[in-house]
Amino acid sequence: MTEATHVTHETGGRRLTTRRAAALLASLLIVSALAFVVGAAYLWPLFVFPLVLAAVFFFELGSLTVTLWLGNFFVLYYSFRAPATTDAVRQALLGTALFFLAGLLLGRVQRRHHVTQEALAASSLSDRLTGLYNYGTFVDYLHTEATKVDRYGGEMALIMLDLDGFKQFNDRHGHQTGNELLRRVGTSLGDLVRDADMAARYGGEEFAVLIRGDETDAYELAERLRRAVESISVSGRGGEPAFTTISAGVAAYPAGARDETELIERADAALYESKRRGRNRVTISTGCVREEQIPASLSA
């Protein structure tokens, strides 16, 4: 998630919380006014409505708030009315206690449902093995960022990265070691990429990083990623240390591609140019959109 997106989500979250709090307060005031005018003995069950709202919106804390309001309401109600009988007080206390228990239960159930939904939403956006965003999320995000560049200007750059000789690595050390390597690579990418940028597992042993900036900014980041992956060591068969390297390709938008599809193609072509030139290096696309131009290679 980008920094701008994070801020937008925070702002939207605060607005939603404010609207929910206003709706809850309005429901409490309306029900309290009706019960006070008509008679609490007849209409106090209407407090079920704000209780449900509170549990759904604010979980156990909301339920507790409504219950405290209900208790204070009965105190005020009987202060303005005729002296309360013992039975009336007992009924009020019993009703408040039942509301409190029901609210806590409903709030707890709603919280667990909310946590489950958030976990499902997160799992649909990220790759389970590496913890990075998955391919589908990356494609959606790339389209969104390209649209922003088209509308508001600016630049963005794409880095495509691929583990060198990963098939041979798996054949030699086993798929479990290969998975551990992918996890470690994903962690390194997540640590080095800024919050304003995005790192994703593009597929298999291939990764993608999208940044705000030009190809020079992307090249510098790709070099840091290359050196970080080069230093990763996992335990292979027999306990021997196992290493790998990555090759990377960089392309920019809009200077180097007409749209996001061509941006991926340019970065991918630069990546395979790195492979062709000996691997463990970063190649920058020329930055021109004419099909006949050849990517330029910059080695470590």
Instruction: Return the active site residues.
Output: 205
For the chain, what's the residue count?
Answer: 300
Torsion of CA 73, 76, 79, 81, to 10 degrees: -60
Residue whose tokens read 């941006």: 263
Angle at 230 between CA 225 and CA 232, to 5 degrees: 100
Question: Under DSSP, is residue 258 helix (H, G, I), strand (E, B) or coil?
Answer: coil
Contact 225, 217 (CB under 8 A): no
**183 vs 62, 173, 268, CA distance in Å?**
40, 15, 22
First to last CA, the chain: 29
Per-residue tokens: 180? 């551990």
**How far apart are the C-alpha atoms of 274 and 295, rounded to whole Å?**
10
